Amino acid sequence: MAGENAPDTDGQVTVDLDGVLVIAHSGKQEAAATWKKTYGHHPLTAFADHGPGGTGEPVAVLLRPGNAGSNTAADHIATARLALAQLPKKYRCGRQTLIRTDSGGGTHDFVSWLAKRGRWLSYSVGMVITDTIHQHVPKIPAPAWTPAVEADGKIRDGAWVAELTGSLLDGWPKGMRLIVRKERPHSGAQLRITDADGMRITCFATNTAGRSIAELELRHRLRARAEDRIRAARSTGLRDLPLHHTAQNRLWLEIVQIALDLLAWMLMLALTGQARLWEPRRLRFRLFSAAAQLVTTGRRRILRIARHWPWTGEVTDALERHALLPNPG
């Protein structure tokens, strides 16, 4: 029904995995101290990306104690299994499904699981800058660096990418590519000990062949959209787990996911343009709180929306598009 707005329009489905801290203000089952010196839970989420013209929908949430590790391979595998089970059967294995994570997913066990024979998933996972990688970056010759690009195809100012090869890939699955990016830090940013020559250094691994490293780096950088999905989830109930027992809070997370699913598909099917990118708070103000009156006359029901409301056009257009959709039953 989504047509050209469907998540798999380009023949590939992208699933982003990311952790989120949920602070608890009272004693709850499995709540614990977090790595940020707060107290609560540390769920691991998975979102199907709808691309630059849309938002995304949740496909899995794994509720974990607050002291759960950010790079626990078993949790990433469990969340990926749950996410794949929500996808159509043809996307549960094969290169047409891309799994993206930050450096928390850059572990031998998780990458090996993704690349296992018979699963063959595509992946783009962040990597921790180890001492070995840090020592190799200054040795990369200048001609090997390629300018990074923006989503519109223009060159990204002050950023370059290069591919690392050789002994760095020993022990990792066959076909893995290690790509490093160096970028001038923005004004006021503090460099880390792993940065070199005044440049911010980041690294990720992928098994996608036949594409330029600049294109692959841009694809991985767009993983930042997962942060937008988490912000929307916080606005829809993930800001707090209100119940005491873990089983109850798991049900709460299911309700949050249902709400996010309804919002994501409403945006995909009923809205167009910039309106498809509206987050829950903006939707509540512009659409859901619009003053209207339901009138019954002549055996018909008429919805009268305030003419002066700035977004009346978006509401009426969305209702018309919804009425044109085929009956899924």
DSSP helix/strand/coil, 12: coil
Mean pLDDT of 163-189: 88
More confident position, 161 or 151: 161
Domain boundaries, the chain: 3-268, 290-324
pLDDT, residue 213, reads 94
- CA gap 117, 94 in Å, rounded: 10
Mean pLDDT of 77-82: 96
User: Among 13-17, 32-36, 227-231, 325-329, where is mean pLDDT lowest?
Assistant: 325-329
More confident position, 185 or 177: 177
pTM: 0.90
Query: pLDDT tier at 329 (50, 70, 90 boundaries)?
Result: low
In this structure, whether the domain defined by 3-268 belongs to CATH 3.90.350 is answered with yes
Query: pLDDT tier at 82 (50, 70, 90 boundaries)?
Result: very high
Query: pLDDT tier at 199 (50, 70, 90 boundaries)?
Result: confident
Pairing state of beta strands 292-297 and 177-183? unpaired
Calculate ∠ Cα 88-89-95, nearest 5°: 95
pLDDT in tens, 206-218: 999 989 999 999 9
Please say if the pLDDT value at position 1 is more than 60: no
CA 147, distance to chain mean position in Å, is 25
DSSP annotation of 277: G
Mean pLDDT of 93-113: 94
pLDDT, residue 326, reads 83
Q: 63 has which bridge partners?
A: none
Query: pLDDT tier at 41 (50, 70, 90 boundaries)?
Result: very high
Query: pLDDT tier at 2 (50, 70, 90 boundaries)?
Result: low
* Strand order across the beta sheet in which 177-183 lies: 56-62, 44-49, 13-19, 97-101, 122-126, 200-206, 177-183, 155-164, 146-149
DSSP-derived secondary structure for 39-107: EEE--EEEEEE--TTS-EEEEEEE--BTT--TT-HHHHHHHHHHHHHHS-GGGSSSTTEEEEE-GGG--
More confident position, 166 or 33: 33
Q: What is the per-residue burial (b if ≥16 Cβ within 10 Å, else e) of 254-279?
A: eebbebbeebbeebbbbbeeebbebb
pLDDT, residue 38, reads 93
pLDDT in tens, 218-268: 999 999 999 999 999 999 999 999 999 999 999 999 999 999 999 999 999
The rounded mean pLDDT for the chain is 90
Please say if the pLDDT value at position 10 is more than 80: no
Mean pLDDT of 28-40: 93
Tally of CB atoms within 10 A around 74: 12
Contacts of 3 (CB under 8 A, 6+ apart): none
CA 199, distance to chain mean position in Å, is 26
pLDDT in tens, 130-154: 888 888 888 889 999 999 999 888 9
